[in-house]
Amino acid sequence: MPKLASFRTKHDSAVTESSSSASSTSSDSLTSSILHVDMDAFFVSVELLDRPELRGKPVVVGGQPDQRGVVSAASYEARKYGIQSAMPLRTAGRLCPHAVFLESRHHLYSEWSDRIAAILGKYSPVVEMASVDEAYLDLAGTERLHGPPFATAHALLREITAKTGLPCSAGLARTRLVAKVASDQAKPRGLLWVPAGSEEAFLAPLGVRRIPGIGKVTEAALHALGIETVGQLAAATREKLEQNFGQWGTALFRKARGGDTYEFFVDAEPKSISHNHTFPFDTDERIALDATLSLLCQKAMKRLRDAGLSASTITLTLRYAGFETITRAHTLREPTHLDPIVLEIVRQLFERHWDHTRKVRLLGVALSTFTHGGEQLDLLDAGHREKLERLAQATDRLRDRFGFSKVQFGGSLTRGKEEVESSKGKLP
Amino acid sequence: MEFSVKKFDLLQELSLSQGVVERKTTIPILGNILCEAAGNQVTLTATDLELSIRTSCEAKVKKEGSGTIPAKKLLELVRLLPEGEIRFKLLENHWVQILADRKTYKMVGMSKDNFPAIPAFPHPLVTIPAKILSSLIAKTAFAISNEESRYTLNGALLLLKPDTITMVATDGHRLAMAEIDHKFAGLTREVRPLVPKKALTEIQRLASEAGEDGQIEFALDDSHLFFRVGERLLISRMLTGQFPNYEAVLPRDNNKHVVIERNELNDAVKRVAQLADQRSHAVKLSVTQEGVEISASSPEYGEAKETLEKEYKGEPLAIGFNADYMLDFLAAAAEGPISLELKDEQSAGQMRPLAEEAYRYRYIIMPMRI
């Protein structure tokens, strides 16, 4: 279980770090060694490699403005018009009608992501790809090889830009949280170093929303308490925050101070892996729905295996045309990382809970309750399981080499065609 | 219906029916017990439609007849009454009056006509010593699957041959099998019914009441299994479907053997399992020339390692098992040496107690990927 091994190495260093911080009264003894690398407008930047003529223009990746769906990425030029990630494409189309709208090409992004990961791996053994376009590195202990962390970070960013042509930013700090906030502040094409001890001063003037984990809801609740900046949040007592937010209040109290090293390790392991698909047109086409479930399972399962995990809880999300959403979960007795087992459960959940008279807007598959390896083998079904295991390994290898979309199970293949046909049917 | 019974006799029979009466039934009559007074005895019947029990005790019957009474309440009440005679009398509207000394109770009954019909005991097929059947159940029933979707694994296979009796249970990850030589007079063919888990529990209860030399008469029809001990009769619906071909998964070439005392292995696995992954319960067994090292680790709690010095001459091997599966077997196995027989880290391991020679007892566990 290679993932567990890396997880535990990190855990070990956390133990020593926290014990050393306990023994010394000053926090300056810890250096800023956590680097958060974030690609600038990643999907757009990748598309611009193929379409250099679009440079300097507002570009939106995610689909056409008359389509349902959301913005995956927007160029900095498009952001000036108020376009943001996760905004409905139609809204983006209204905000900036002359923007260039491009379809997402996810296989391409993950290929570039892998190349970036390979570069990062040269700078530190502890690299965590937090998503396709951002990563955390721990540069502690690399000084003798690469020099002080700030110089290393600088060299690293230069190498990424030189080798890929993709712009990126980074934040260097003592904790993950501050590093992430710093990279966000550094964008685009910047590097920001928050020296140990200056975290609170750095965070204080920022709006609370800048803190990862604080969304619309928490922001509104904090505003109601008269807290708008991180500095004000840091001034609030732990009791007050806990009274208003419970356990989340304890976390807020910590986050306002830049978090602690512990957070690095908790976040190192995902709590759930999910994939959703919004249909371009609401549908009750059996084949399209089945194929989409299959594809969502395959995507989620690939990521699960990449993380070296097995999952026991499988959750289906089903959103109807009227936006009414239901989620239904099933817990397996034994965790699994094999597609057919999960797909069968997902299909059963769908079969049991889909109201056939209603059209579906969105389907989602989520995996949770993870275990590291430790998978129980089957006595009665051992031969079959072994075949599935080899199949998963083979498809994963091919996907790693040629991209996810190049290898798919048959169940998801009718999808593209059906979608086109069903949407054609709806056109006047 | 009117009769009187001794509290002691009644309580004993009522207690036996409690495992059968459904606590959370949606069919109200199944929460009741049927009392039938005739001759010089009263017969009590309880059923959940899958499993039924019929027992009787001596009574002074003044007026023959029958009625039904809420089973749980009746047991609680009888348990609280002092030793002595208890009188039962059927009133109007199915109510039943219960009198003991100068204490009077009236319980709401239901019409006996609604009580499900219970099949009659056919001609007995064989007689099995209660002790043997009980022991076979204790050695295997824990491996039965609790997963309702695996219907045919929700019971144990009882395999009766002219000169052996075998019981096999599996949940798809481990398999327990126990066999003993026993000559059945008059049995010429092989009989292999699937006995549901709940029935096995009740058979054990009946067997323990039957005493050291108790005998169980066994019979079956197309859909039911009958177990009779004296006046007590347990009737279970037979599990239908195909029990897996267990013989195909019995290991044949597990040539890496190491022998460990049951208590020593049991205690070590129990301790190490404290620090096993909380979800998978995986423990690792590393078998080398030095002996057996049992280890586990959990990202939340830490790690454990114990070494048992044992003689082993084969190739070194490391294999993962679910600690719970190991402990289930070790709790059921007789004290004394256990032979642990392995092939490789992907193939089923086998454990056999070497002490209890009358029974051929083997336990097969599939490993975990570690």
Average pLDDT value for residue range B221-234:
94
Query: Is the pLDDT assigned to residue A204 strictly greater than 60?
Result: yes
Residue A241 C-alpha from the chain's centroid: 28
pLDDT at B110: 93
Residue A269 C-alpha, separation from nearest chain B C-alpha, in angstroms? 11
pLDDT tens-digit readout, A286-337: 999 999 999 999 999 988 888 788 899 999 999 998 888 899 999 988 888 9
- A279 band by pLDDT with thresholds 50, 70 and 90: confident
Percent of chain B with pLDDT over 70: 100
Q: How far apart are CA B93 and CA B98, in angstroms?
A: 15
Tell me: do B97 and B170 sit in the same domain: no
Q: Which of residues 138-177 of B touch A (CB under 8 A)?
A: 147, 170, 172-175
pTM of the predicted protein model: 0.64
Please indicate, yes or no, if residue B120 is contained in any of the structural domains. no
Q: How far apart are CA B232 and CA B234, in angstroms?
A: 7
DSSP alpha helices (H): ranges in chain B?
Answer: 7-17, 71-80, 130-140, 197-210, 262-273, 323-332
Regarding whether B257 and B236 lie in a shared domain, the answer is no
The reply to whether B238 and B269 lie within a common domain is no
Residue A14 has pLDDT above 50, yes or no: no
3-class DSSP assignment, residue A39: strand
Yes or no: say if A87 and A70 are a contact pair by the CB < 8 Å rule. yes
A267 touches chain B (CB under 8 A): no
**B149 and B94 fall within a common domain:** no
Per the structure, the count of domains in chain B is 3
The reply to whether B99 and B13 lie within a common domain is yes
- Mapping DSSP to helix (H, G, I), strand (E, B) and coil, where does residue B106 land? strand
Secondary structure element (H or E) that encloses residue B5, with its range:
strand B2-6
pLDDT, mean of residues A347-369: 92
CATH architecture of A272-412: 2-Layer Sandwich (3.30)
Which one has a higher pLDDT value, A147 or B41?
Answer: B41
Q: What is the pLDDT of residue A415?
A: 57
- Average pLDDT rounded to a whole number, residues A265-288: 77
Q: Is A103 a catalytic residue?
A: no
Find the CB nearest A377 among B244, B299, B367.
B367
Amino acid at A22: A
Decide which of B79, B114, B149 is a domain's last residue. Answer: B114
Query: In whole numbers, what is the pLDDT of chain A averaged over residues?
Result: 81
Rounded average pLDDT over B344-353: 94
CA distance A68 to B231: 74
* Highest mean pLDDT (candidates A208-212, A408-412, B24-28, B43-47): B43-47
> What is the distance between the alpha carbons of residues B101 and A158, in angstroms, rounded to a whole number?
98
- Please check the confidence at residue A418 and state whether its pLDDT lies above 50: no
What's the domain range around B298? Answer: 251-365
Assign residue B231 the CATH number of its domain. 3.10.150.10
Q: Which of B147, B346, B369 sits opposite A374 (nearest CB)?
A: B369
Q: Which residues contact A218 (CB under 8 A, 6 or more apart)?
A: A208, A245, A248, A252
Q: Which residues of B touch A372 (CB under 8 A)?
A: 277, 299
Reported as half-sphere exposure (CB side, CA atoms, 13 A), residue B167 has a value of 21
* Contact at CB, B366 and A369, closer than 8 angstroms: no
Q: If we measure between CA atoms, which residue out of B223, B150, B158 comes closest to residue B184?
A: B158
Amino acid at B254: N
Cα separation, A354 vs B317, whole angstroms: 49
Contacts of B173 in chain A (CB under 8 A): 334, 376-379
Percent of residues, chain B, with pLDDT higher than 90: 85
- Same domain as B342, residue B318: yes
Yes or no: say if B176 and B208 are a contact pair by the CB < 8 Å rule. Answer: no
Q: Which candidate from A11, A335, A379 shows the least CB-CB separation from B279? A: A335
Residues A354-376: what's their mean pLDDT? 87
Same domain, B138 and B26: no
Is B121 among the domain residues? Answer: no
Q: Is the pLDDT of residue A269 over 50?
A: yes
Do B132 and B106 have their domain in common? no
Contacts of B170 in chain A (CB under 8 A): 379-380
pLDDT for A385 beyond 90 = no
Task: Using a CB–CB cutoff of 8 Å, tell me whether B207 touches chain A.
Answer: no
pLDDT at A26: 32
Distance of CA A93 to CAs A43, A45, A63, B50, Å?
Answer: 18, 20, 10, 64
Closest CA to B181 of B1, B370, B357, B351: B357
Chain A residues within an 8 Å CB radius of B322 = 376
Query: Does A377 contact chain B (CB < 8 Å)?
Result: yes
**Interface ipTM:** 0.81
Residues B93-115 have pLDDT tens digits of: 999 999 998 999 999 999 999 99
| Predicted confidence (pLDDT) at residue A381 exceeds the cutoff of 60 | yes
List helix spans (H) across B86-239.
Answer: 130-140, 197-210
CA distance A151 to chain B (A): 34
Q: What is the pLDDT of residue A6?
A: 31
- Interface contact A334, partner B, CB < 8 A: yes
Q: CB-CB: which of B172, B299, B320 is closest to A378?
A: B172
Average pLDDT over residues A339-358: 92
d(CA B260, CA A75): 68
In a domain, B10, yes or no: yes
What DSSP line would sit under A364-426, residue for residue? Answer: EEEEEEEEES-PBPPSTTHHHHHHHHHHHHHHHHHHHHH-GGGS--GGGTTHHHHHHHHHHHH
- Does a structural domain hold residue B133? yes
b/e burial code for range B321-351 (CB count within 10 A of at least 16 → b): bbbebbbbbbebbbeeebebbbbebebbbbb
Least confident segment among A343-347, B74-78, B185-189: B185-189
- For chain B, give the mean pLDDT: 93
Interface with chain B: mutation pick from A331, A332, A370, A376, highest number of B CBs within 10 Å: A376
For residue A10, the model assigns a pLDDT of 32
Q: Are B109 and B131 in the same domain? A: no
Provide the angle, in degrees to the nearest 10, between the axes of the packed helices A286-306 and A415-426.
140
Domain ranges of chain A: 6-40+109-263, 272-412
- Return the residue of A nearest to B248 by Cα: A380
Q: Hey, which residues does A60 pair with through a beta bridge?
A: A74, A101
Contact B366 A376 (CB under 8 A): yes
CA distances from B223 to A242, B50, B144, B199 (A): 62, 11, 21, 14
Per-residue model confidence as pLDDT tens digits over A44-58? 999 999 898 999 899
Spatial separation of the C-alpha atoms in residues B279 and A44, rounded to whole Å: 42
> Are A6-40+109-263 and A272-412 the same fold in CATH?
no
In degrees and rounded to multiples of 5, residue B288 shows phi and psi of -135, 180
Residue A267 — pLDDT band, cuts 50, 70, 90?
very low
Q: Single out the catalytic residue among A77, A134, A263, A418.
A: A134
Chain A residues lying within 8 Å of B320, measured CB to CB: 374
- Nearest neighbour of A333 by CB, restricted to B147, B249, B299: B147
At the top level of CATH, the class of A6-40+109-263 is alpha beta
| Banded model confidence at residue A11, pLDDT cuts 50, 70, 90 | very low
